[in-house]
A and B are shown apart, each in its own frame.
Chain A
Amino acid sequence: MLKWIVLAPLIGAIINGLFGRRFLAVFGQRATEKLVGFIACASVGVSTVLAFMVFFGQLWHKQPDADGVRRILDHLFTWLKVGSFQADFAYLLDPLSGVYILFITGVGLLIHIYATGYMHGDPGYYRFFCYLNLFMFMMLTLVLGDNLLLLFVGWEGVGLCSYLLIGYYIKWDVAGSAAKKAFVMNRIGDFGFMIATFLVFTNFHTISFVTKYINGVEVSSFLAQAAASPTVAVGTLTAIALLFFVGATGKSAQIPLFTWLPDAMAGPTPVSALIHAATMVTAGVYLVARCSPVFVKAPTAMAVVAVIGAATAIFAATIGIAQNDIKKVLAYSTVSQLGYMFLACGVGAFVAGIFHVMTHAFFKALLFLGSGSVIHGMSDEQDMRRMGGLRKYLPITYSTMFVGWLAISGFPLLSGFFSKDEILWRTWSTGSLPNNWGRALWVVAAITAVITAVYMTRLMVMTFWGGERFTGARNDHHAGAGHASSGHKDDHGHHGRPHESGWLMTMPLIILAMLSIAGGYVGVPAALGGSNQFEHFLEPAIAKVEPATATHTGAELAPVMAQAESHGAGDVAQASHEGGHDVQTERLFTGISSALALLGLAFGLVFFRRNPLWRAPKLLEDKYRVDEFYDATVVGPVENLSRDGLWKVVDVKIIDGFVNGVARLFAALAGALRYTQTGFARNYAAVILLGAIIVIGYFIVSFFGIRINI
């Protein structure tokens, strides 16, 4: 049954991909939209229903394996078997992938439904849904694959779909370049992923995530090996973990490979919501969490992950303040939130990271879809400077985005609050980082939380409140930012007033808003009176940071930790779960993070209501000129080397030179030989005679020669 979760969207993609054009020719645009939309949504719907059935019906009640993890394995066939190398085509459902498939299919279904409304009137309707379904298939393969190679298939597959969908508006240059940029930057990350996979195989002799028996032969799990024995050197484990993280930085848009994600906003908005906010970009977090047994054995790698995560979080958040394109703000916000997730992983709180992945999927999908609804209602206007006062025109979009805004800002008791609070607290109390790094990272993350609230407030203020700035005919000079080339715009014709979107688009918004409110309650921490179901469910599937490191750092941290003074130094890690004082501390920190969120919201409201068109420092507006920096240091030199070195020297001079040289050699040879072809028959006869004389002469001489020798 597990396989049908994955295969259903593939079937949808195949039908729409192969027959979509024929549908269009036979039924016309309107009926084709209905049919294609139905096939796409139905296939994802089937997969959603199955995912919930398998998760709650089977996995929930399953007897845990020997290592305490509930698992369902669906082995389709053995894909590759060469010597000791074995890669199965098998899907594995455990708590980690279970959580992922739930929100992937759930949010994915909502976004599919939304897209049927959003893409209305687009001539490439079937193409869009074919890609979108294919994406679902690949994403589910990624999270359900039971070994690194199958994960990599999904990993590359989602990269491909991301490329296809960013460049969906094929007549628009910007989209094409953005798609290429995304693909190339992801390739850089994939390089790290592949090297890591090779290292895993050479060191552990297996790439499976789980110990299993295929036709009676045991296939062991490299994760179990990494967790159990110290046979592999820490240096090697660190290398593997860091290379996996390189892959994750590409896919999840972390420093230094994050610049593709903001550009990826050139794709249609449902794509931004599904791929570049909710699902694909969290694949990096999945990879890190999946390989957590390797990461926890490599403290250096963990520290790198945490630092990169925190740095990305604050870096992207500050850029987010200065952007005027509504989708760009959300894109940088996504990068920043992904930074939080990696920070959580880096400090050993993998579960908190996954929790944030899930809540983020809800509220960020909501915000993106809301922004899509705004863009739709404004006839493809994306510049917030030309919005304002949309509250009364788009009431449903406004109220749902209001929820999303509070959720991402960490407003108490909404989903983002619980997950972000968890991350902040775990960062502070981490046992896996040396010295006071945890504290320093906490400060960074806390500042980021404030900035997050500020830029999200700015977005809300500029879009929905204040005076209307869109009066006056919208000029077409800006149309390039939208779907001018797609023909999408012309089908509506409501150029004058912003208008609310249809129910196909508002219904997913409402559902996502409810999820953004309620989604956090699966993981209320014990300190707040909850039972943290989420953590208890996930915990067995994810490695814990070893207490040895915790003790070590705890000893150094103890004097600083005011609230924990009554505990022995070695107990800090333990205490964070059990100690009464630590519950106090945790509550204090919950208070602090609520206060931070409220502070950010209040500041944003006061400041931006007064100056909605406030100009951020140039450096922020220019995104710290990272793109320019890459252009100068990487893209430029590579281009120059390619053009002046590889093209003009290696290709033209060496390769072409060699080929042309061979040709010229034969031309010269032939030029010399052609003089022998005189055309005079008697010349040829003479040459034949000469040849005959030589052959006969040879035989005569050799014949007599032998005679003489005897």
Chain B
Amino acid sequence: MVPLSWYLALSAVLFTIGVVGVLIQRNIISLFMCVELMLNAVNLSLIAFSRLHTDVTGQLFVFIVMAVAAAEAAVGLAIIIALFRSRETLNVDEADLLKL
């Protein structure tokens, strides 16, 4: 059996990759994927704790997070498309004004 600390270490690594990605990436789609990465890193640790405690609550929580992530992906991608249509770019640094 894989010990808990491995899961947690993997989760931490994934989360950190996500955070760093959000901070350094300019492409909005990469940024978006980094956010998803952070969500899934958290999901991983939740699942791990759920298994450890043999308690199904953690898994339920993961389902909720996934549902929210799906909704977020739908809205987020729609925003990205709208952004691209109006500015012809996916670079977040260039979209620094609310008005066109």
| A interface residues with partner B (beta carbon < 8 Å) | 678-682, 685-686, 689
User: What are 7 pairs between A and B in contact, CB < 8 Å?
Assistant: A678-B96, A679-B96, A679-B97, A681-B92, A685-B23, A689-B19, A689-B23
Task: Decide yes or no whether B37 CB sits under 8 A from chain A.
Answer: no
Contacts of B23 in A (CB 8 A): 682, 685-686, 689
Contacts of A679 in B (CB 8 A): 96-98
Majority secondary structure of chain A interface residues (helix, strand, loop or mixed): helix
Closest 10 A/B residue pairs (Cβ): A679-B96, A681-B92, A685-B22, A680-B96, A679-B97, A680-B93, A686-B23, A682-B23, A685-B23, A689-B19
CB-nearest residue of chain B to A689? B19
CB-nearest residue of chain B to A678? B96
Contacts of A681 in B (CB 8 A): 31, 92-93, 95
Q: How large is the interface on B (under 10, 10 to 19, 20 to 34, 35 or more residues)?
A: 10 to 19
* Complex contact A682–B19 (CB within 8 A): no
Q: Once the chains are docked, how many angstroms separate the CA of A701 from the CA of B93?
A: 36
Besides A680-B96, A682-B93, 5 other A-B contacts (C-beta < 8 A): A681-B92, A681-B93, A682-B26, A682-B31, A686-B23
* Complex contact A682–B22 (CB within 8 A): yes
Q: Once the chains are docked, how many angstroms separate the CA of A685 from the CA of B28?
A: 13
Contacts of B98 in A (CB 8 A): 679
Q: Once the chains are docked, how many angstroms separate the CA of A685 from the CA of B32?
A: 12
Contacts of A686 in B (CB 8 A): 23
Contacts of B92 in A (CB 8 A): 680-682
Q: How far is the CB of B99 from chain A (nearest CB, A)?
A: 11
Q: Once the chains are docked, how many angstroms separate the CA of A689 from the CA of B38?
A: 12
Contacts of A689 in B (CB 8 A): 19, 22-23
Contacts of B19 in A (CB 8 A): 689
Q: How far is the CB of A681 from chain B (nearest CB, A)?
A: 4
Contacts of A680 in B (CB 8 A): 92-93, 96
Q: Once the chains are docked, how many angstroms separate the CA of A97 from the CA of B28?
A: 92
CB-nearest residue of chain A to B92? A681
Q: Once the chains are docked, how many angstroms separate the CA of A679 from the CA of B99?
A: 11
Chain A proximity mask over B2-15: 1 for CB below 8 Å, otherwise 0: 00000000000000
Contacts of B31 in A (CB 8 A): 681-682
Contacts of B95 in A (CB 8 A): 681
Contacts of B26 in A (CB 8 A): 682
Contacting A at CB under 8 A, from B74-100, are 92-93, 95-98
Q: How far is the CB of A590 from chain B (nearest CB, A)?
A: 98
Contacts of B97 in A (CB 8 A): 679
Contacts of A685 in B (CB 8 A): 22-23
Contacts of A682 in B (CB 8 A): 22-26, 31, 92-93
Q: Once the chains are docked, how many angstroms separate the CA of A8 from the CA of B20?
A: 88
Q: How far is the CB of A416 from chain B (nearest CB, A)?
A: 87
Q: How far is the CB of A496 from chain B (nearest CB, A)?
A: 79
Contacts of B96 in A (CB 8 A): 678-680
Q: How far is the CB of A703 from chain B (nearest CB, A)?
A: 17
Q: Once the chains are docked, how many angstroms separate the CA of A678 from the CA of B24?
A: 16
Q: Once the chains are docked, how many angstroms separate the CA of A682 from the CA of B95?
A: 11
Q: Once the chains are docked, how many angstroms separate the CA of A314 from the CA of B93?
A: 93
Q: Once the chains are docked, how many angstroms separate the CA of A681 from the CA of B23?
A: 9
Among B26, B92, B97, max chain A CB count under 10 A is at: B92
CB-nearest residue of chain A to B97? A679
Q: How far is the CB of A430 from chain B (nearest CB, A)?
A: 90
